[in-house]
Amino acid sequence: MADSTNTLMEKLVALCKRRGYIFQSSEIYGGINGFWDYGPLGVELKRNIKAAWWEDIVRKRDDILGLDASIIMNPKVWEASGHVGGFSDPMVDCRECKGRFRADKVAIVNFVRGEEVLFSASVETDDPVEAVSLARGKANSKYRKRLEKAGDAVAPSVTLLSKVAEGVSVQCPSCGAADSLTEPQNFNLMFKTNVGAVEDSASVAYLRPETAQGIFADYKNVLDSSRVKLPFGIAQIGKAFRNEINPRNYTFRSREFEQMEIEFFCHPDEAAKWYEYWRDARYKWYVDHGLTSEKLRLRDHEADELAHYAAACADIEYEFPFGISELEGIANRTDYDLGKHQEYSGKDLTYYDDETKERFLPHVIEPSGGVDRATLAFLCEAYTEDQAPNDKGEMQTRVVMKLHPRFAPIKVAIFPLVKKEGMPEVATAIHEQVKSAGITSFYDEKGAVGRRYRRQDEAGTPFCVTVDGQTLEDGTVTIRDRDSLAQERISKDEVLAYVRDRLG
Ligand code: GAP
């Protein structure tokens, strides 16, 4: 990770804590690894992202129905889905420092000149570019000088731990001890619990590791109760839990997170067409909501990356400060899941088409996104530093969260210029009017007005309205645009309509 990207992440994490976007869970007790809380601004941001998804996917469409399934389900669901048998990561432990690592996320980097290995280090990543930069950072001054002296003659080679030949010495990526890593062991990622008063093997249940299986388990109920016809989808937003071996990169890999998933059921002959449709539609959704930079990309999986049951898969990826990683996956899962649930439940899950008189198991296209990862990507993209004048007209660095207006936690902030002369009363009346129209508004009368603007810039508030002396004379207020800093004078009675028009 380069220094500049480190700095961006550090600044973002600090801002999120300072301004109440994201806190470490149970921080007063030292926190708990892999769990995060969303503060007053963060919860609004996250709710806005989920609401936008729900509106675009469920409410605006006739072919998708919503669902809210339970988190704990009959454990047979997870046997049928393959999670009991196969939802595991290969894990290695260090016998020296007791560190625990995913075997598929440890890379060994050798800096080679000709036949000679000048420097070697193990690092925790599966991204070859990041691996080289992390390994360079581990070189002490002696080895750094050696690498610098060798210059272009040095060729770094990166090998994942899972691909290292037997007998080759490997260091621990944390403490550096040689040959201290155990053989990989599979570790199931599902959180276990017990249902009922008795804690025995018969009462074991799991916290769902994905929302998708709730949709498959309810597919027949939705079909029968809503009399919908193929093609149609079922959408769900909800919590998922995975006992990740190494939660990392802030909220990116958490142990408790939220997913927004669609299972789109269609005729097998139409699956390829619907796969293309969803792949492109989901990519466009992120672009339309502000991930417009070259940091967003759509990556089709190579044939050897596909799960055995999948006909096609693509990832929507974002270049976070810590590397390029997945935001959402779109998969053509064929009839695998319904087939498995039909087999394990013994219930007929086929679809009967009364026009063609055909009976078959529908195929499924699954766009599966993470709410927390989307939130983090929108936060990273929004973080901007520019120059703006302070109260004395001096240019200063301003931090502004250029969030899409649909996602902004607060849409309008209303300020009286001073706390007297009737200005608070006028400002409060505008604030009440905006709030009662269902638009989030924030009233602030404390401190210099420049400071109040800065606080709203950090909150990503698209519009700030100031009531000043002129308001009392002609009934106009200033309205300031967060991104352009342009200020317009409009009638105080037009504030609501102005904001509504621009929020869309
Ligand atoms: N039903 C398919 C499924 O769950 P997945 O790729 O394992 O597929 C889908 O998860 C999405 O859920 C990911 O693209 C990611 O956005 C989110 N996700 C998965 N594991 C996560 C974790 N540990 N922390 C945060 N988000 C996660």
Flag whether pLDDT at 1 surpasses 60.
no
Q: How far is the CA of 339 from the centre of ligand 1 (A)?
A: 23
Q: What is the pLDDT of residue 165?
A: 79
Residue ranges in 248-324 assigned as alpha helix (H) = 271-288
CB-based contact 470:416 (threshold 8 Å): no
Flag whether pLDDT at 206 surpasses 50.
yes
The residue nearest atom 20 of ligand 1, judged by CA position, is: 253
The residue nearest atom 21 of ligand 1, judged by CA position, is: 253
CB-based contact 290:403 (threshold 8 Å): yes
Say how far apart CA 499 and CA 480 lie, in whole Å: 11
- Name every protein residue with a CB atom under 6 angstroms from any ligand 1 atom: 210, 212, 242, 244, 253-254, 257, 259, 261, 326-329, 366, 368-370, 372-373
Q: What is the pLDDT of residue 56?
A: 98
> Per-residue pLDDT averaged across 9-18, rounded?
96
Say how far apart CA 335 and CA 322 lie, in whole Å: 36
| Residue 211 burial by Cβ neighbours in a 10 Å radius (0-12, 13-18, 19+) | buried
CB-based contact 268:335 (threshold 8 Å): yes
Say how far apart CA 404 and CA 378 lie, in whole Å: 8
Top-confidence residue, 215 or 304: 215
The residue nearest atom 2 of ligand 1, judged by CA position, is: 368
Q: What is the pLDDT of residue 304?
A: 84
Top-confidence residue, 413 or 187: 413
**What is the number of residues in the chain?**
504
User: Predicted confidence band at 246 (pLDDT cuts at 50, 70, 90)?
Assistant: confident
Task: Of 153-157, 284-288, 373-377, give the lowest mean pLDDT range.
Answer: 153-157
User: Mind listing the pLDDT tens digit for each residue in 159-186?
Assistant: 988 888 787 889 999 999 999 998 888 8
**Percentage above 90 pLDDT, the chain:** 77
State which ligand 1 atom lies nearest to the alpha carbon of 326. 14
> Per-residue pLDDT averaged across 406-412, rounded?
97
Six token digits for residue 49: 């992202």
CB-based contact 42:50 (threshold 8 Å): no
CB-based contact 1:322 (threshold 8 Å): yes
Q: How far is the CA of 370 from the centre of ligand 1 (A)?
A: 6
Say how far apart CA 234 and CA 66 lie, in whole Å: 6
Six token digits for residue 482: 């967060």
State which ligand 1 atom lies nearest to the alpha carbon of 329. 14
Say how far apart CA 89 and CA 185 lie, in whole Å: 8
State whether the Cα torsion 347-350-352-357 is positive or negative: negative
Residue 437: count other Cβ atoms within 10 Å of its Cβ. Answer: 12
CB-based contact 402:482 (threshold 8 Å): yes
* Mean pLDDT estimate for the chain: 93
The residue nearest atom 17 of ligand 1, judged by CA position, is: 370
Q: What is the DSSP string of 241-261?
A: E---SS-BTTTTB-SEEEEEE
Q: What is the pLDDT of residue 2?
A: 43
> Per-residue pLDDT averaged across 231-248, rounded?
95
DSSP 475: S
Q: What is the pTM of this model?
A: 0.88
Q: What is the pLDDT of residue 458?
A: 97
